[in-house]
Chains A and B, each alone.
Chain A
Amino acid sequence: MNRNTAPTDWTAPAMQKRIAARYAAERRFKALGLGAVLLSGLFLAFLLTVMVGNGARGFTYTHVSVPIDFAGTPLTVDAARLSDPDADQMIANAGLADIVAFAADEALGDGGSALISENAWKEVRTEIKADPEILTGKSVFELPASSEVDIAAKEGAKGELGARVDALERDGRLSTGIHWPFFRNADATDPAVAGIWGALKGSLLTIVIAFLIAFPTGVLAALYLEEYAPKNRWTDLIEVSINNLAAVPSIIFGLLALAVFINWFGLCQASPLVGGLTLALMTMPVIVIAARNAIKAVPPSIRDAALGVGASPVQVVFHHVLPLALPGILTGTIIGMARALGETAPLLLIGMRAFIGDVPGGICSPSTVLPMQIFLWSDEVDRGFVEKTSAAIIVLLIVLLSMNALAIYLRNKFEKRW
């Protein structure tokens, strides 16, 4: 080849400048990327520190030891009936609450009954039912403190309350332990007995129903669209609709669910069933999109190979395409499910924001979900709910992280290389 220009001068100042500029751009890009990673790491660390710092205290509770002398102030109940179904009511009618309040006043001084939770007598009731012998003598109970005392004991307080809590502390009457009712109970107005289990169970039931409906429907829709549907204007239209559906604001699904499931079908309000159906509507398009991408990524040569030995289209799909696409489908599904688990807006409209004092018994009983519980508690006036809110957030995060861990595990388990 003939050169009609001078050979390139790689050492010319202009060329050197260009090279330097190129390296500078490289360094700038690297620094920006690193900055972005550090910033998101910082946010995560900040979130976790604040949540764990506040929330860890939400898992513990302060108890006050109060001796109760049932010999002196007898509780007149028939010991033989303590295992009856209506025993709770019977003990309540016998005036146990007054006896406990009296004992607290006796032991802790004036206004002592205000230092323990108004629900403390229910703990005594549980213990009486477990061991009726208690009713014959004097025993010491570790009763949950009132919400103010609990906070004062954890954070310190000034004024009269502070002085009384300090005095209790000096007398060795205060103890702190894991707050088991928090893991057993549903919502309550008293932080001493409010628990997360109702919302957690509601969330799990809701998500299971959403999964059972959205996963098969989404995967079958994706398989049909990818493997069977003719490519024409109708399938294009369906594809666009599904993509748009995935982008619809979630509250609109709530309105739809309210109109269809509750007003039209008359399904049970505020229940995990309707919640799950709503979240299934919301998640299905996400699953369809993830599944279609995973199915598209299965090499056509595998389909050819299976068809070539005489597999029918259904056999090709279920023996080859689906197993190979499964890791991708599962990853997309679990990410969609995790999003659904954190969703509040659509559930507001179907009534899941109501105060539910009982742990849901089944898929049709009224229930709430974790993010909704967090919202409800964050709105409470009682300061005792501040740390309960953080504790609930930790529970939600743990559930989400476990789901993501499951996604990674499943992906690695099913992933095959070729």
Chain B
Amino acid sequence: MTQDDLTIADPKMKAEGVDVFYGDKQAISNVSIDVGTDLVTAFIGPSGCGKSTFLRSLNRMNDTVASARVTGRITLDGEDIYAPSMDVVQLRARVGMVFQKPNPFPKSIYDNVAYGPRIHGLAAAKADLDGIVERALVRAGLWDEVKDRLGESGTALSGGQQQRLCIARAIAVDPEVILMDEPCSALDPIATAKIEELIHELRGKYAIVIVTHNMQQAARVSQRTAFFHLGTLVEYGKTTDIFTNPKQDRTKDYITGRYG
């Protein structure tokens, strides 16, 4: 793997020689990658290649799996996120996550977005909280659709709206990085287009990492693409390079549809 001109001067997150094990089984081996502050980074690869596993190790969601073990070094702003001094709760507030299946809480739209700021004590007064909720919903492109029914249940929204609600919930705590784990795989093409548009708008405000099965999506939304195969990082580069001029045969085979 070559870095070439890819080296990011001041990476938001940096992974060096990361291995992830589930029990005895190694899911990820020796992955090193930089996540740029103003960039959208896409992880692509066939099912089971470990891209979601790697994504979940970036905000320590793997901690919830008892058998999971991470070695190597992952840093956020130069700080080792697996160091004992790192508070995992704070880490997850700084590195937000959007999941494959929209998973709003069975609470009102308002409470869904307000939950994060509430538990972190980000708003002193009700008015501040209202402001945070509104800004998050505006950023997630959902405000106009829900502003008159903030008291309704988040689960009553359509699938695409639910996913944008989840994005609003993630950005309400003002994270630095947003991890998206196949955020569109449960959505129809119109809802998918809206999410992609949203990712464009969020770029620059947050470092975004997106896992996707859909290579067109990776090509559309990202500036950097990493191709994973069988638990290893095969190729990482500028999205345009990966899709037009892959250096590795395996990458070429995958993006031309030979396997995966």
A: residues with CB less than 8 A from B are: 230-231, 299, 301-312, 315, 319-320, 324, 416-418
Contact = CB atoms under 8 A, between A and B. Distances in A.
Contacts of B101: 301
> Of residues A299, A320, A418, which shows the largest number of chain B Cβ atoms within 10 Å of its Cβ?
A418
B103 A304 contact: yes
Given A311-B119, A315-B119, A417-B155, A305 B96 contact: no
Contacts of B169: 305, 309
Nearest to A310: B93
Contacts of B91: 310
Contact of B99 (A308, A315, A319, A324): A308
A310 B116 contact: yes
B120 interface: yes
B103 A302 contact: yes
Contact of B89 (A312, A320, A324): A312
Contact of B66 (A230, A302, A324, A417): A230
Interface residues of B, number: 29
B151 interface: no
B173 interface: yes
Contacts of A320: 105
Given A305-B104, A308-B92, A416-B153, 18 more contacts: A299-B103, A301-B103, A302-B105, A304-B61, A304-B64, A304-B99, A305-B99, A305-B105, A308-B98, A309-B92, A309-B115, A309-B169, A309-B170, A310-B90, A310-B91, A310-B92, A310-B116, A319-B119
B97 interface: yes
A418 B106 contact: yes
Contact of A324 (B90, B106, B166): B106
Given A301-B103, A302-B103, A304-B61, A309 B66 contact: no
9 contacts: A302-B103, A303-B64, A304-B99, A308-B59, A308-B98, A309-B169, A310-B91, A311-B89, A312-B89
Interface string B111-125: 000011001100000
B64 A307 contact: yes
Nearest 5 CB-CB pairings of A with B: A310-B93, A301-B103, A309-B116, A308-B97, A310-B92
A255 B184 CA distance: 61
Interface in B60-112: 61, 64, 66, 89-93, 96-99, 101, 103-106
A110 to B, nearest CB: 78
B106 A416 contact: yes
B106 A309 contact: no
B15 to A, nearest CB: 19
Contacts of A311: 89, 115, 119
Contacts of B115: 306, 309, 311, 319
> Of residues B89, B93, B166, which shows the largest number of chain A Cβ atoms within 10 Å of its Cβ?
B89
Given A230-B66, A305-B103, A418 B61 contact: no
A310 B89 CA distance: 5
Nearest to B117: A309
A307 B64 CA distance: 9
B78 to A, nearest CB: 20
> Of residues A301, A309, A324, which shows the largest number of chain B Cβ atoms within 10 Å of its Cβ?
A309
Given A301-B99, A315-B119, A418-B155, A307 B61 contact: yes
Contacts of B155: 417-418
A418 to B, nearest CB: 4
Contacts of A303: 64
A302 B173 CA distance: 17
Contacts of A416: 106, 153
Contacts of A306: 105, 115
B106 A308 contact: no
Nearest to A324: B106
A320 B89 CA distance: 16
A231 B61 CA distance: 18
Nearest to B166: A305
Nearest to A415: B106
Contacts of A417: 106, 155
Nearest to B115: A309
Contacts of A310: 89-93, 116, 119-120, 173
A315 B93 CA distance: 14
A306 B59 CA distance: 13
Contacts of B59: 308
A319 B120 CA distance: 14
A417 B106 CA distance: 7
Contacts of B170: 308-309
A103 B170 CA distance: 87
Contacts of B98: 308
B89 to A, nearest CB: 5
A15 to B, nearest CB: 43
> Of residues B61, B104, B115, B116, which shows the largest number of chain A Cβ atoms within 10 Å of its Cβ?
B115
B30 to A, nearest CB: 27
A318 to B, nearest CB: 11
A326 to B, nearest CB: 12
A207 B93 CA distance: 45
A304 B169 CA distance: 13
A312 B60 CA distance: 13
> Of residues A301, A304, A307, A310, which shows the largest number of chain B Cβ atoms within 10 Å of its Cβ?
A310
Contacts of B90: 310
A320 B93 CA distance: 17
Contacts of B116: 309-310
A418 B91 CA distance: 28
A418 B153 CA distance: 9
Nearest to B112: A305
Nearest to B118: A319
A416 B152 CA distance: 13
Interface string B217-229: 0000000000000
B202 to A, nearest CB: 16
